[in-house]
Amino acid sequence: MRLRYYGSFTLLFMIVVGWYVYNTDPQKLPVNVANHTLNLPIALWIVGVVLLFFIFTLLFILSGSIANLWQRYKQKRDFEKLTEQIVSQNTKEHFILEKYHNPHFATLSKILARFKLEADLNSQESGCEKVDQLFSLYARVSQAEDVKWRKYNLDPSNPFYIQNLQNKIHHDLKQAQQILKKEGYSPALKRQALIDLIQRGSFKEIPKALKGASELLDKSVLEVLLRAFWDKRVGMELAEIGNLCVQIGCNKQEYLQMAVDAKTFLSPDDWYKFFELLAAEDEQAEKAFLYVLLDLEMIEQARDRLSTHPQDEFLIIKAYLELKKSDKNYPLNIFFGLKSKI
């Protein structure tokens, strides 16, 4: 029953009872209260009792409503804490378990804490504004947009945080330079920034970026750098590129593939000089240099080079030379384990 209906009914009830009693017995009844005598009609005393009963009843009802409001407030706070935990488990590396008034929420919190939560962008909206807003930002990031996280403080290891930084780099190459200069970013992200700089940076920007990022150099960076160098987009000398190859530590097969790739882009003279330099600095490049010599028909130089190696080394290459000496020509790539181009 709503309070206004209950109050209206009580007021009407008091008027009817008071009117009836007063018309039945209009006499007054004296009552001593704190050394004072109150001489009031009996009807008024009865109405006062009903009014007092109404007040106590109203207080009882209100106390129950207040208790219910307090319980709902605590449940709402528990729900907000649990929602915050779910968001934190997805956005941060570490989170803190909160205290809950409802033991069921506390148990559910501990259960969720044992799982690693990942965002499913194909799922339906939850109806929780904070969660759905986060998913909206995630969706924009996945569409290569550059977003601001606002109230969401994502951990740097979060994949969407990393992807958003990559989006920033894609939209503005200056972001790549800033990421390379600042501390706190993961080596993987810095390496991606370096690759973006190599792919889209200017002729002079790339050498500058490489000088301050020697610890980031690996074979994935070298592959992109070599492609840029072959395309003449990098202001570096052959010796500088060669030193980087040696520093990273390529194996025999990688050097050999490098020789095959470089043939299309370098002049015969530069091709020869580059792999002569590599072979002088790294024995792993010896086979690649022999390939260059034989492809350039520098047969005597190849024989002289082979003579410095043990008899049982590079036997298949020596076999190629013997066959060539007997005027039996076969594709060079076969003897180096390379697929011949059709």
Burial 163-183 (b: 16+ CB within 10 A, else e): ebbbbbbeeebebbbebbeee
The helix/strand/coil state of 31 is strand
Name residue 334's amino acid.
I
- Report the pLDDT value the prediction gives residue 342, as an integer from 0 to 100: 39
- Report the pLDDT value the prediction gives residue 340, as an integer from 0 to 100: 52
Element (H, E) at 98: none
The radius of gyration of the chain from alpha carbons, rounded to an integer in Å, stands at: 43
Q: What is the pTM (predicted TM-score) of this model? A: 0.63
Distance CA 109, CA 90 (A): 14
Those residues with Cβ within 8 angstroms of residue 87's Cβ, 6 or more apart along the chain or in another chain: 130, 131, 134, 152
Distance CA 155, CA 29 (A): 79
The helix/strand/coil state of 30 is strand
pLDDT tens, per residue, the chain with 342 residues = 566 777 777 778 778 877 877 778 777 767 776 677 777 777 777 777 878 887 878 777 777 778 788 888 899 999 999 999 999 999 988 888 899 999 999 999 999 999 988 999 999 999 999 999 999 999 999 998 989 888 888 888 889 988 998 898 888 888 888 888 888 788 888 888 889 888 888 877 888 888 878 788 888 999 999 888 888 888 888 888 888 888 888 899 999 999 998 998 889 999 999 999 999 999 999 999 999 999 999 999 999 998 888 888 889 998 988 888 888 878 888 888 886 543
